Amino acid sequence: MHKAPRGTFDILPEEHSYWKYVEEKAALLCQLYGYQPLTMPIFEDARLFTRAVGGNTDIVDKEMYVFQDKGGQELALRPEGTAPVCRAYLEHGFYNLTQPVKLYYLGPAFRYERPQAGRYRQHHQFGFEALGEADPVMDAEVIEMAWRFFLSLGLSGVHIQLNSIGCKLCRPGYLDVLKEHYSGHADSLCPDCKGRSVRNPLRLLDCKKDHCKGTAETAPKATDYLCDDCQSHFETVRVYLGTLDIPFHLDHRLVRGLDYYTRTVFEVEPQEQGGQSSLGGGGRYDDLIEALGGRPTPAVGFATGLERIVLNLKRQGVDVPPLPSPVAFIACLGQEAKLEAVKLASELRKAGLGTVMATGDRSLKAQMRQADSANSSYTIILGAEEVRNQSAVLRNMGSGEQQTVPLAELIRVLKSR
């Protein structure tokens, strides 16, 4: 027996009410803020991610699915969406359009991680990016959008964690004092952090191990080492967020796991944290497009995982609308009636009425059971007599009430209810 690979899962029909709900809210949100949809391939040249996300990050170093295709090209299943969006921005010359260019995407991403609640090897991301704008009002808009998205889903207690990690001018100075702080605690760091202190010191701050957490708490804060431009940018972002009444907390340990971030970084935290990770995160990445071969292009964005959202919707008991069920189920007895049923089903569907038809040679009782499981509002029963009279028995599945309706009237009658 085959099973779905570890860390992957099937989204079963009964789960799709949640998925549809989230996807529709996402599309509506993007429409409200003027973001256009973009669909990228699920695999890209592996070097795109090495260059964009960083060769020293866990995502590229440990978690990326890399393979050679039959032509010998090294490809990667995309571990995130921002780098592909930037690739598309450059490839299609979006820098010639009026800036900012606002795009959103929805689709799978792949990371070879230890599977746990809300974390999968194939997961689904919704992200939006505003490219070509340095104005701090853009940071505030993206944060507001992320926050409003979770509100619109009906999730409560969601809040924003915010930090600034500076730019290429002020960050090196900060990393020096950070490394100095950690060198005083070198013996007590976990093996991962020992590696990070050389390769990626910023990530020392978000180690989840207890002892390292203590060292991070007392570490110097990036926001104390910002250059004047970064400082005033960060201040302005906070003023806008205040104006918008968005609840945020400063968290100097927030750095995000990708190398491309500059200045503003933020995460959206769920109500109860109980070990679960954030609902999503984002920030500014002013150097990324240049690193991918474009002109210097400031940008800011956000991404969230749909699995975690669905998990939190269930935890908070948020009611989502059920998927629409068929209007009618057609039961029929005998070959003549079946022929009529085929024709009728086709006509109902053409008229926009969802219809399911009985198949096989089942008894009427068995067909009624089929009708129950189809969860239709009505069952239409056709027998030899009904065919002769060009009528059908229409049964309301809620009330059990039945009436005989001429076939020519059926669509009108069903539509009028």
Interface contacts to Zn ion, rule CB under 5 A: 166-167, 169-170, 190, 193, 207, 209, 212, 227, 230
**Minimum CB separation from Zn ion for residue 68, in Å?**
34
DSSP state of 119: B
**Minimum CB separation from Zn ion for residue 208, in Å?**
8
Q: Which is nearer to Zn ion, 170 or 219 (CB)?
A: 170
**Minimum CB separation from Zn ion for residue 297, in Å?**
17
Q: Which is nearer to Zn ion, 164 or 379 (CB)?
A: 164
The type of residue at 210 is: D
Which of 144, 148, 215 is CA-nearest to residue 180?
215
Which of 137, 134, 107, 109 is CA-nearest to residue 37?
107
**Minimum CB separation from Zn ion for residue 137, in Å?**
18
Q: Which is nearer to Zn ion, 227 or 393 (CB)?
A: 227
CA distance 339 to 341: 5
Q: Which is nearer to Zn ion, 159 or 194 (CB)?
A: 194
Contact 380, 344 (CB under 8 A): yes
**Minimum CB separation from Zn ion for residue 108, in Å?**
30
CA distance 46 to 50: 7
Coil vs helix vs strand at 252? coil
Q: Is the dihedral of CA 273, 279, 285, 291 positive or negative?
A: positive
Q: Which is nearer to Zn ion, 205 or 328 (CB)?
A: 205
Coil vs helix vs strand at 403? strand
385 Cβ contact list (under 8 Å, min separation 6): none
**Minimum CB separation from Zn ion for residue 296, in Å?**
14
Q: Which is nearer to Zn ion, 143 or 207 (CB)?
A: 207
Which of 159, 158, 211 is CA-nearest to residue 187?
211
**Minimum CB separation from Zn ion for residue 51, in Å?**
22
CA distance 305 to 110: 11
Query: What is the token pair recorded at 323?
Result: 């998927």
Which of 267, 308, 283 is CA-nearest to residue 123?
308
Q: Which is nearer to Zn ion, 222 or 328 (CB)?
A: 222
